[in-house]
């Protein structure tokens, strides 16, 4: 159980990493995009294997398509009856875009226009429950802190996000795949087990934040190495 707890602690870390690079709450709506009528090489249900195109390949293709951004998340999905990789990209100015990559050929099928936090809200023209939940979480987190403490925490979050983006595509892909596997364990736990693990995860996350930028990156690199052992 201790090993599962440590892995789940890093599962929580990926969620905070994505938050750190500024992709939420917009990231929560990334599956709701109305995509054009793309034509992929692998129809859903076809027996042909598509494993020759890995998540690393898809993230690499996405970064080639959007050269000023980093691939921060990706997964296999079904779009218009075809199997594709959906990859979320994030630029240094915190605008994000989505890239569809053919799961059979690795070809770029679609690149969305970049969206910033403000343009995201303006595009929808409303402040929905996802935004409210995100803002409430952040307000609760910073509650009772001085302006100086809040500024320091935000700096630490940014450093963690920068450390995540600085990893190689291979390391980012390895962690994403691992987190997906860990989430399956998380979903099978009871509420009591989840509460206990959340406490463990919170403690570990609090230990990560004060580290220097180099130490944060080293922690992530060490974790990827542990996955290969």
User: Domain of 95: which CATH number?
Assistant: 3.10.450.40
> Is the pLDDT confidence value at 146 over 60?
yes
pLDDT at 63: 96
Residue 35: pLDDT band (50, 70, 90) is confident
When divided into structural domains, the chain yields a total of 2
In this structure, the answer to whether residues 163 and 198 fall within a common structural domain is yes
Task: Give the structural domain span for 48.
Answer: 33-116
In the predicted model, what is the mean pLDDT of residues 29-58? Answer: 78
pLDDT at 44: 86
Domain end marker among 116, 141, 167: 116
The model's pTM is 0.79
In this structure, the answer to whether residues 62 and 97 fall within a common structural domain is yes
In the predicted model, what is the mean pLDDT of residues 112-130? Answer: 62
Residue 142: pLDDT band (50, 70, 90) is confident
**Of residues 106 and 24, more confidently modeled:** 106
pLDDT at 215: 94
Q: How far apart are CA 96 and CA 69, in angstroms?
A: 8
Q: How far apart are CA 198 and CA 219, in angstroms?
A: 20
Question: What is the secondary structure of 35-104 as a DSSP string?
Answer: ------SSBTT--S--TTS-HHHHHHHHHHHSTTEEEEEEEEEEETTEEEEEEEEEETTS-EEEEEEETT
């Amino acid at each position: 159980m201790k090993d599962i707890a440590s892995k789940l602690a890093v599962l929580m870390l990926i969620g905070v990493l994505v938050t750190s690079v500024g992709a939420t709450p917009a990231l929560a709506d990334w599956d709701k995009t109305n995509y054009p009528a793309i034509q992929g090489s692998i129809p859903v249900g076809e027996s042909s294997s598509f494993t020759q195109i890995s998540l690393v390949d898809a993230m690499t293709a996405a970064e080639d398509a959007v050269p000023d951004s980093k691939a921060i998340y990706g997964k296999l999905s079904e779009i218009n009856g075809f199997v594709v990789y959906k990859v979320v990209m994030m630029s240094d100015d915190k605008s994000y875009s989505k890239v569809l990559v053919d799961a059979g050929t690795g070809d770029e099928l679609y690149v969305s226009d970049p969206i910033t936090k403000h343009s995201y809200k303006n595009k929808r023209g409303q402040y929905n429950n996802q935004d409210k939940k995100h803002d409430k979480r952040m307000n609760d987190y910073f509650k009772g802190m001085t302006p100086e403490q809040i500024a320091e925490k935000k700096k630490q979050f940014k450093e963690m996000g920068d450390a995540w983006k600085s990893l190689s595509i291979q390391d980012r892909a390895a962690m994403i795949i691992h987190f997906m596997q860990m989430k399956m364990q998380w979903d099978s736990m009871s509420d009591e087990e989840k509460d206990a693990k959340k406490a463990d995860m919170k403690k570990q996350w609090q230990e990560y934040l004060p580290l220097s930028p180099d130490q944060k990156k080293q922690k992530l690199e060490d974790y990827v190495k542990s996955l290969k052992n």
